[in-house]
Amino acid sequence: MISARSSRNLARTVTTVVATLLLAASFTAAIAVFAAYDGRHERTVERTPVEASEGQKAVLQYQHVLRAVGGGQASFVYIEPIDGRTSPPPGLAAWPDPGEVVISPSLETYRDQIDGVYGTVAGSVGASGLSTPTERIVYVRPADGIPEAQSTGRGWISATGFGGANRSLMAGDVWTDKPPTQILTLIGIFVLVPALGLVIVAVQLGEDRRRRRQTVLEALGATPRYLVGLEVRAAARPALIGVVCALGVFGISCLTDVFLPGVGYWLLAADMRAVAWQGGLACLVAGAVVVAVAAVACAPARARQMTRPRGREPRYPGYIAAVVAVAFGLSGFQAINSTATGSPDAQAWFALSTLVGIGLMPLVCGWFVRTCGQLVASIGAARSLPSLVVTGRHLDAAPRTSARIAGTGAVVVFLVSQVVATVSVGSDDLRAANAAYARWDGTYATVSLPSVPAEQHVVDQIVSGTAASTVVLHRGQRWIERDGTFEMETTLTSPTAALRTIGLEPGMWTPQALDDLPQNLAAGADSVEVVAGDPEILNDTETEQDLVVVNPGGGLSTSELQAALNTIVAPGWQVSGPGETWRAGAASESHQMRWVAWFGVIGAAMLLVAGVMRNWHAVAQVARKTSRITAVSGRFALHARCAAVRGGIVAVTAVLVGGSGAVYLSGVVDASGVDGTSVREIIGLLCLLVIVATAASALHEWRTGLRAATQWRPGKEDDS
Amino acid sequence: MTEVASMPEQSIAPDEHSLLVDNVSHMIGRQTILNGVSFAVRPGASIAVQGRSGSGKSTLLSIIMGLIAPSSGSVTIAGEQISSASRTRRAQIRGARIGVVFQHAELLDELTVKENILLPSWLSKSDPEVAARRADELIERLGLPGERSATVISGGERQRTALARALINDPVLLLADEPTGALDAELREAAAELLFDIPAQTGCAVVIVTHDPAVAQRADHQFTLSDGHLTIST
């Protein structure tokens, strides 16, 4: 009886197992996204204080501010129980004593910046009180409780307990404010689609042997149903192994927290356990999909159609390279045009020309491979180098296999890098924000407390608590109507002597007339009024106001200045460095790009594996052709040299065609205002993957040729 | 001329022969494939080995080429024992002293006829100019279209190209495994003629394994391999 076992070969089995595993991973990843979002939402809700409404009995008071710790922002939650029997926040075993703080594990590194500044560090926040394990959060219980005068106002909020829907406590998590559809889209594009492609390639491996077997069985009277059943059984075994592996991996993620390297994210076992049966089902569905694909893709009629004697090699005309160059040139022009004008037509032309360029890229690779083959063959013939002649002539006469691998590589490099480019703004924004921070480091910090007056003694405390040379300005920003148009006016107020310290004179100024630092303090203003007076924050809801603490001598870094201010100002006062909010937002966006790049690299790897495996058999055939000659001559090194030459040409083609297109277009996007410079690193990484993939293909060619040569015996000419 | 034997007791001086097979036996498991096979071929002489499928013809060729080691006995090519040489040395002897013609020619289709012929000389790092001159001579003598691609030449031209390729390094021994098996009667006749004549002119010994009696008869001596024993046919 014919069994599935008879058609098994190692490459097909391994590839099918891996493809099943990856398909299951893409399904379970989608489920994990929802599980992670739900888990974080639940934990956030559980720990969020419920604001007491009119007439409700409050059991605690709290306020929440962001403060700088270790170069980043952290959430500081000031809490004070009113009723001693009130449960502490989730993640805290008990209420901290007055003057104690409890920090999340990710802030342990910066314990010295918290201990003694906000109180004595008395413990860590447990996992149930954190939306993610890496969250930066600090619970502070004031040493002296809340003075009666501050019990209302000054940012303190009365609450009836924990478990409210207010999400304001969440902080520092990149996906917090992003809808799950974004990450699902990434999984779809970069994991699901390549995994399906790999499944199709995997089940079709060994098509020549399959076709022969099907032809023989059909001739012996086998029905189409029987033949399909044979293919299904052949695919079922590796698919089952893949499902078992996937269930194992998923099971591990249900038992222990899993760290995702590259993005620094912890997948929590508690979240995964909540979707245990859905995840298991997803693994089984993946196996079923693989078997179904095998039934369709390896059906007898389909197999014959797909394995007909191959037609002529494609022509790969040279003018295609010029067409692609024009297409990408047009893409670049339209990218600039659409950024400048926002024209939908320009965007459509950009998309169309880019698609044309991508679509023709494999043909360019074919032309390049063939041209390289001609060049290499002529060099080899002139210098009597057989590896160059054999490989060059083959690339010239039959470039299809090498062109397909190079084309896959080029498209992967270009496509993935451009997808990453479109969402890379955050990373470059982070660089700009960091550059701005570095530019103004040590010059100033801001202290803000909207809608509450700041008394003079606070200003005096700031001056005495930081440095003698510190200058405190009141900065007010408001919109005023002038000649029917609205303009932003910034008012900077401080005593005359203090103003002169930083090069300001009372009067009305345009920002351009001011020195660098005051100009930066008034960023975005149309006019600047410099007023001599005490820098008090006033009761004025029309004006956005804060205190700017300038350190003209530069004796303190911004972080030192912030640390000093943190010890002085009251809870609820926001202390920020130059562009700190911008930095935090940009860091979040940049982190998102790391997810995109992470998925992109995974997808690229899968597509490359599919591309290499698709040509696995053809590469082996090429190698076997030379094995007779090397078997007789004993010059086995020819196989290694031929594989190296072919692999080198394929890798160079893919990197040159895909990489140059990607670098050019990301450069144009950069020049047009939507930063894409950070994509260079991704392009480099993708090119490295392409080189690894072509090296794997070359290794296969070398090993196949070597094996065929060393195992060849007279009378075995037809063993290929 | 050719010395013939299944007679191990006969003394053969190694340096007089292109090929000396001395009392070679080979077993696979308990099955005896070759049993005390001995013969010698002098320069310019030829022998044909016939036998049924599975009689051990291909095993004998493999042992002569040094691809497998005999269970006992020795094989000497131009005075150097290949059967006891290291793997590297066996490969070197094969590359420099043996030419092989395969049943299906086994040309590399992408190469031109001349490049196919030159390939062994490139692999053995022969003097390029000398090799090119020899290739041109062979192309002329065998009437081959040197610059044409191997894909477009006829079956007879393919086999003549394979012969030229086997002779490019000026071997002392030419081995041919069913060299005319894939050719029609007319081409077979022409190919067989070249196969025996051209090596003879250069002093190259020929060992041909064939099922075709007409081809075998062209050899100086014909042997039959049966039950592991080599016996003279005529």
Check whether B231 has a pLDDT greater than 60.
Answer: yes
Q: Inform me whether the pLDDT recorded for A656 exceeds 70.
A: yes
B152: buried, middle or exposed (CB in 10 Å: 19+, 13-18, 0-12)?
A: exposed
d(CA A59, CA B98): 100
Kindly report, residue by residue over A457-478, the tens digit of the pLDDT: 666 667 666 655 677 777 888 8
Residue B222 to residue B212: CA distance in whole angstroms = 11
**Residue A22 to residue A16: CA distance in whole angstroms:** 10
Q: Quick one: DSSP state of residue A266?
A: E
Q: How many CB atoms lie within 10 A of CB B75?
A: 25
Q: What is the pLDDT of residues A431-466, one digit of tens each?
A: 677 777 777 776 777 777 644 555 556 666 676 666
The tokens 């002779």 sit on which residue?
A: B167
Q: Beta-carbon neighbour count of residue B120 at 10 Å?
A: 25
State how far the alpha carbon of B90 is from the alpha carbons of A396, A628, B61, B79, B87, in Å: 34, 16, 14, 13, 5
Residue A624 CA to its chain's centroid (Å): 43
d(CA A548, CA A528): 15
Count of CB atoms situated within 10 Å of the CB of A525:
22
Q: Does residue A572 surpass a pLDDT of 70? A: no
Check whether A43 has a pLDDT greater than 90.
Answer: no
A632 vs B: CB within 8 A: yes
Q: Count other C-beta atoms under 10 Å from residue A502's C-beta.
A: 21
Question: Residue A719 pLDDT > 50, yes or no?
Answer: no
Q: Strand B173-177 vs strand B98-101: parallel, antiparallel, or unpaired?
A: parallel
Among residues A66, A170, A202, which one has the least CA distance to residue A610? A202
Q: Read off the pLDDT of residues A602-634 as tens digits, 9 standing for 90 and up.
A: 888 888 888 888 888 888 888 888 888 888 888
pLDDT at residue B4 in the model: 45
Separation CA A604–CA A447 (nearest Å): 47
Sheet holding A137-140, edge to edge: A49-51, A157-162, A60-69, A72-81, A137-140, A100-103, A120-124
Give residue ranges of B with CB < 8 Å to any A CB.
Answer: 57-58, 61-62, 65, 67-68, 88, 90-92, 94-95, 98, 100, 102-104, 106, 108-111, 115, 118-124, 128, 131, 149, 151, 175, 177-178, 209
CB contact under 8 A, A393 and B124: no
% residues pLDDT > 70 (chain A): 84
Q: What pLDDT was estimated at residue A64?
A: 80
Higher pLDDT: B233 or B60? It is B60
What is the pLDDT confidence band of residue A3, given thresholds at 50, 70 and 90? very low
Q: What is the mean pLDDT of residues B64-85?
A: 90
Chain A residues closer than 8 Å to B68 by CB:
713
Confidence class for position B126, pLDDT limits 50, 70, 90: confident
CB-nearest partner of A634 from B91, B115, B128: B91
Q: Which DSSP string corresponds to B199-220?
A: HHHHT-EEEEE-S-HHHHTTSS
Closest CA to B23 of B39, B2, B12: B39
**According to the model, what pLDDT value does residue A5 have?**
45
**Res B29: pLDDT:** 83
Region of poorest pLDDT, from A133-137, A170-174, A539-543, A602-606:
A170-174
Rounded to the nearest angstrom, the minimum Cα separation between B59 and chain A is 8
How far apart are the CA of A226 and the nearest CA of chain B, in angstroms? 36
Return d(Cα A472, Cα A501) in angstroms, integer: 11
What's the pLDDT at A379?
94
CA distance linking residue A402 with residue A612, whole number of Å: 10
Decide the pairing of beta strands A72-81 and A137-140. Answer: parallel
Which residue is it, tokens 């699901």?
A192
Q: Note the pLDDT of residue A673.
A: 46
Backbone angles phi, psi at B199, to 5 degrees: -60, -40
pLDDT at A420 over 60: yes
Confidence of residue A172 (pLDDT cuts 50, 70, 90): very low
What letter would DSSP give residue B28?
A: E
Is A629–B131 a contact, with Cβ atoms under 8 angstroms apart?
A: no
Res A417 pLDDT > 90: no
Strands (E), A214-288: 258-260, 265-267
Q: What is the pLDDT of residues A280-300, one digit of tens each?
A: 999 999 999 999 999 888 877
Q: pLDDT, tens digit, for every residue of A249-278? A: 999 999 999 888 877 788 889 889 999 999
Cβ B67–A631 below 8 Å, yes or no? Answer: yes
Query: Is residue A169 scored above 70 in pLDDT?
Result: no
What pLDDT band is residue A698 in, cutting at 50, 70 and 90? very high
Other Cβ atoms less than 10 A from the Cβ of B133: the count is: 11
Query: What is the Cα–Cα distance from A471 to A587, expressed in whole angstroms?
Result: 30
Query: pLDDT for A347-389, tens place per residue?
Result: 888 888 988 998 999 999 999 999 999 999 999 999 989 999 9
Residue A2 pLDDT greater than 50, yes or no: no
Most confident of A216-225, A535-544, A652-661, B187-196: A652-661
Q: Which of A473-477, A654-658, A715-719, B230-234 has the lowest mean pLDDT?
A: A715-719
pLDDT tier for residue B9 given thresholds of 50, 70 and 90: very low
Dihedral sign from CA coordinates of A219, A297, A647, B148? positive
Contact B95 A634 (CB under 8 A): yes
ipTM given for this complex: 0.79
Residue A666 above 50 pLDDT?
yes
Average pLDDT over residues B75-80: 90
Dmax over Cα atoms in chain B, in whole Å? 52
pLDDT digits (tens, 9 = 90+) for B98-120: 998 887 888 888 889 999 999 88
Q: Quick one: pLDDT at residue B7?
A: 36
Check whether B188 has a pLDDT greater than 50: yes
The band of B198, judged by pLDDT with boundaries at 50, 70 and 90, is confident
Distance of alpha carbon A262 from alpha carbon A685, whole angstroms: 13
pLDDT the model gives residue A463: 65
Chain A contacts of B90, Cβ < 8 Å?
A: 634
Please give the sequence-ordered ranges of beta strands (E in DSSP) within A320-428, or none if there are none. none
Q: Determine the Cα–Cα distance for residues A303 and A263; give it in Å rounded to an integer.
A: 42
Indicate the average pLDDT of chain A.
81
- What is the tens place of the pLDDT at every residue in A300-339? 765 455 444 455 677 888 899 999 999 998 988 888 887 7
The pLDDT of residue A146 is 67
Q: What is the pLDDT of residue A175?
A: 41
Predicted confidence at residue A670, as pLDDT, reads: 60
Q: Which of the pair, A88 or A212, is modelled with greater confidence?
A: A88
Residue type, B7: M
| Section A25-47 average pLDDT | 87
Higher pLDDT, B60 or A218: B60
**Residue B160 C-alpha, separation from nearest chain A C-alpha, in angstroms:** 16
Domains and CATH numbers, chain B: 4-104+170-232 (3.40.50.300)
Instruction: Mark yes or no for CB contact B106/A717 under 8 Å.
Output: yes
Please tell me what DSSP assigns to residue A191.
Answer: I
Q: What is the reported pLDDT for A524?
A: 77
Assess A189–B contact: CB distance below 8 Å, yes or no. Answer: no
Residue B195 has pLDDT above 80, yes or no: yes
**Nearest-by-Cβ selection for B119 from A398, A629, A717:** A629
| Strand, helix or coil for residue B110 | coil
Best probe of the A interface among B110, B130, B161, B208, by most A CBs < 10 A, is: B110
**DSSP 8-class letter at B44:** T
Element (H, E) at A29: helix A10-47
Q: Which chain A residue is nearest to residue B109, measuring alpha carbons?
A: A394
3-state secondary structure of B108: coil
Task: In whole angstroms, give the CA distance from residue A293 to residue A499.
Answer: 76
Kindly give, in sequence order, each residue whose CB lies less than 8 Å from that of residue B97, ignoring residues fewer than 6 positions away: B77, B78, B80, B171, B172, B173
How far is the C-alpha of A421 from the C-alpha of A428, rounded, in Å?
10
Give percent of chain B above pLDDT 90. 26
